[in-house]
Amino acid sequence: MDINMNLMTVQDFAELMNKSIGMGTAKVYSMVKEPGFPSVRFGGRYYVLVDKVNEWLEQQSHRKGTDCHEE
């Protein structure tokens, strides 16, 4: 197990997503609670495993029959 994974609070992750792609905070909180999303819960707070988000997005694109790399 890699204990050096980059953890980020959901609020910080939501701010990053808002600045990057305009995703709202409510959507981020909803996404974090989805089964399989790379997050952990400690003491009632959720944290995003930032190092795993791209991998999760890639899995989602293939699961829904799309490819993130298509233009």
**pLDDT band at 11; cut points 50, 70, 90:** very high
Contact present, 12 and 6 (Cβ < 8 Å): no
Global confidence as pTM: 0.74
The two three-digit tokens of residue 47, written as one number: 């944290």
Contact present, 29 and 10 (Cβ < 8 Å): yes
Q: What is the per-residue pLDDT for 64?
A: 60
Q: What is the per-residue pLDDT for 1?
A: 56
Q: What is the per-residue pLDDT for 4?
A: 59
Write out pLDDT tens, residues 13-69. 999 999 999 999 999 999 998 899 999 988 888 999 999 998 898 888 877 655 554
